[in-house]
A and B are shown apart, each in its own frame.
Chain A
Amino acid sequence: MLAELLQFLVSGLTVGAVYALVALGFTLIYNASDVVNFAQGEFVMLGGMVTVFAFAAGVPLPLAASLAILAAVGVGLLLHRLAIEPARGASAVTLIIITIGASIFLRGIAQIVFDKRFHQLPAFSGADPILVAGAAILPQSFWVLGGALLVFAGLWLFFERTLLGKAVLATAANRLAAKLVGVDTSFVLALSFGVSAAIGAFAGILITPITLTSFDVGTLLALKGFAAAMLGGMGSPLGAVVGGLLLGLLESFAAGTISSAYKDAVAFLVILGVLFVMPQGLFGRRSVERV
């Protein structure tokens, strides 16, 4: 019984860590711009696909992974420069549709540049599971969890310890005020797209050895990441992390104990339940509407 629960726990945390990274990407861009970037999943796809193709072409894995992150950051910055920046001042919903268009566009390009097949990547340190108290854990799970932790810690340090981080926080809190005190909010926005893309691509690289990848993996991840960000409270990095992990755990425990056909339904019912009690998510800021 304990082994079983531990198995569900590891499974949920691994998948949840990826949701958390996607949700973090959502949060960073949202904070800087109020945009819910539905192309976030495509960064994950880019991370996985570029790594796979570079690796297949003979590039060593660490270098392939770096290339993938660079490519994703490039795409993220271009997305900001060419699609979001020209529409500055448009309503949030217009910007969201732009990101939906961007996501369709990126998928369309990916199916041409890469292909429409599934691809795999060898696990970073072997595929033999490690037995812990009767549960079989893939070494790659530790990579995913460790990598996610690294990102969380890095972001925390960035926000808490650097001036630039403070500038980002200030922009998130009040864009106009931040601008008035001399924060280059446009730069902050570009930075957010770059960092979000990097985080997304990083998640894609870590998870591909477990889940495989293809040109269209992004859609579902974006959906789950968005739900996770909402569960945690939009705009809260801590909420994104907690929301992502929670969503992963909900799915895995629901699949393992209640019903595998309705595991996503269970997860969404819990999200709805949480939102009814806490309409701003678990860690969301209470916003006061000004008239």
Chain B
Amino acid sequence: MDAKADAAVLSAAARPRLSARWATLLVLAVVIATIPWFFPSGFYFRVAALVWVTALAAVGLQILMGQAGQVSLGHAGFVGIGAYAMALGPKYLGLDVLLCLPLGAALAGVIAFLVGRPILKLKGHYLAVATLGFGMLVTMVLVSEVGITGGPDGIRVPRAEILGWRIRGSETFYWIAGGALLIGTWIALNLQDSPSGRALAALHDSEVAARTIGIDVAAYKLRAFVIAAVYGAVAGGLLALMNGFVTPDAAGFIASVEYVTMVVIGGLASVPGAVVGAALLVLLPQALTVFHDYEHAVLGLLIMLFMIFLRVGIVPGLAALLRRRA
């Protein structure tokens, strides 16, 4: 980190931000710890665990999109890499499935590093289409190499064991996923408040301006891209472990669009926004089943309404509303 840039972007608001960071974490921790009291059945553990895992991937994308201002329509590609590592590592390399979680994350990081270097030279929609292409390539390999990946029908993921204890059951995964999200959120919030986070924010505002004050723009973008990929891969790995099964849908274009929607609908500039966005997009399909045939129409309508009336996203939007009241 460059000291000059550091000084340039260090804001006087650093102190209150610090407490806001801990407040966010505290709220999240309290929510994770208390909502199980209200769960009427095991199914709720499953859905809530899914929310935490999805939110972890979304928080990763928020670092890239919200903090570094770089769009990605291929985020699910990294989720897929993490997920398939859990299936392929044990099957072909005889590795313990739990070991495959960090290995998959590392692999995603390395791939992101290699792919990111050329891709991140592109801007805006061109970057979107390049990342879209990357995501499609991942899906295509997963779909076409049937002999290795199991093809479109997917592949089994072995159940994990720690000292002979098999990790299973929605409740166990609820706590694992909740813990992972808490750690992920903590890192993301720290990143946002760190000198490099402010460098990234500068980048978001204006790349040229960031460059002129001495920020190594390319390096920071690449770092955000790699971090986002690692988040995605860890989330994918956890998802695979939780499901005991993975299909190429996990890496698909639709999933990528969903992650982007989560980040934007929750609030592009907000880490907790990504969590809220993920919760919304995971919970809505469950809640909307009462509409039967109208399910998709209502989902689309809600997305539009949220974005029209809370255009900066749910979390910052509601925060602004509250402030205006106060």
Physical contact A–B (CB less than 8 Å): yes
B-contacting residues of A (Cβ < 8 Å)? 36, 83, 86-87, 89-91, 93-98, 100-109, 111-112, 219, 223, 226-227, 230-231, 234, 261-262, 264-265, 268-269, 271-272, 275-276, 279-281, 289, 291
Chain A positions within 8 Å of B304 at CB level: 83, 98, 101-102, 105
Interface size of B as a range: 35 or more
A-contacting residues, B8-37, CB 8 Å: none
Chain A positions within 8 Å of B144 at CB level: 261-262
Cβ B140 vs Cβ A112 within 8 A: no
Cβ A111 vs Cβ B296 within 8 A: yes
Closest chain A residue to B206 by CB distance? A291
Given A101-B300, A262-B140, A271-B130, 15 more A-B residue pairs with CB atoms under 8 Å apart are A87-B311, A94-B307, A97-B261, A97-B303, A104-B296, A112-B297, A219-B254, A227-B129, A230-B129, A271-B129, A272-B133, A275-B129, A276-B118, A279-B122, A289-B206
A-contacting residues of B (Cβ < 8 Å)? 65, 71, 118-119, 121-123, 125-126, 128-130, 132-133, 136-137, 140, 144, 206-209, 212, 253-254, 257, 260-261, 264-265, 268, 293-304, 307-308, 311-312
Cβ A97 vs Cβ B296 within 8 A: no
Of B125, B298, B301, B311, the contact of A91 (CB 8 Å cutoff): B311
Within the complex, what minimum Cβ distance (angstroms) separates A231 from chain B? Answer: 8
Q: Is the interface of A mostly helix, strand, loop or mixed?
A: helix
User: When A93-B71, A223-B132, A280-B126 are in contact, do A105 and B297 touch as well, CB less than 8 Å?
Assistant: yes
Cβ B125 vs Cβ A264 within 8 A: no
User: When A108-B295, A108-B299 are in contact, do A100 and B130 touch as well, CB less than 8 Å?
Assistant: no
Chain B positions within 8 Å of A276 at CB level: 118, 121
User: When A94-B311, A108-B294 are in contact, do A102 and B264 touch as well, CB less than 8 Å?
Assistant: no
Within the complex, what minimum Cβ distance (angstroms) separates B207 from chain A? Answer: 6
Closest chain A residue to B205 by CB distance? A291
Query: In the bound complex, what is the Cα–Cα distance between A86 and B310 (angstroms)?
Result: 11
Cβ B307 vs Cβ A107 within 8 A: no
Query: In the bound complex, what is the Cα–Cα distance between A34 and B300 (angstroms)?
Result: 21
Chain A positions within 8 Å of B296 at CB level: 104-105, 107-108, 111
Cβ A272 vs Cβ B300 within 8 A: no
Could you name 14 residue pairs across A and B whose Cβ atoms are closer than 8 Å?
A: A93-B65, A93-B71, A98-B303, A100-B257, A103-B300, A105-B296, A109-B297, A223-B253, A230-B126, A234-B125, A264-B136, A268-B136, A289-B208, A291-B206
Within the complex, what minimum Cβ distance (angstroms) separates B274 from chain A? Answer: 14
